[in-house]
Amino acid sequence: MGKAKDKVQKKLPKPEDVALAKPLVQKLAHAKARFAKLSEKLAQGGEVKKSDPKHRAARKRVKRAQRKLRETLKYAAQRAKAAPAAEAPAAAAPGA
């Protein structure tokens, strides 16, 4: 069996630099705070069961917010990459 290929990490812009990501960062922070509060509450009753419906729902809420943020950053990176490529042929055409 062969060795798995190493994936190249994509360079994504910082959420502060992307206008569409700012509300998602707030939503993620809110979801994380809610998850931490719930985990703390469940820990008081004993061991936290990861299969607990409330725990699962809160964790899913965090994961969903993270996924949406990452998708938005990928979208912004793709648009930034495509913008200079679209401007280059337009700049070359009038001079020809």
Find the mean pLDDT for residues 53-72: 96
pLDDT tier for residue 95 given thresholds of 50, 70 and 90: low
pLDDT of residue 9: 82
| Bigger pLDDT: 79 vs 85 | 79
- From residue 84, alpha-carbon distances to 11, 14, 61 in Å are 17, 19, 36
96: pLDDT strictly greater than 60: no
Residues in the chain: 96
Ordered by start, the domain boundaries in the chain are 15-82
Query: At 6, phi and psi to the nearest 5?
Result: -80, 130
pTM listed for this prediction: 0.75
Residues 6+ apart with CB under 8 A from 18: 72, 73, 76
Residue pLDDT, tens place only, 6-56: 888 888 999 999 999 999 999 999 999 999 999 999 888 888 888 999 999
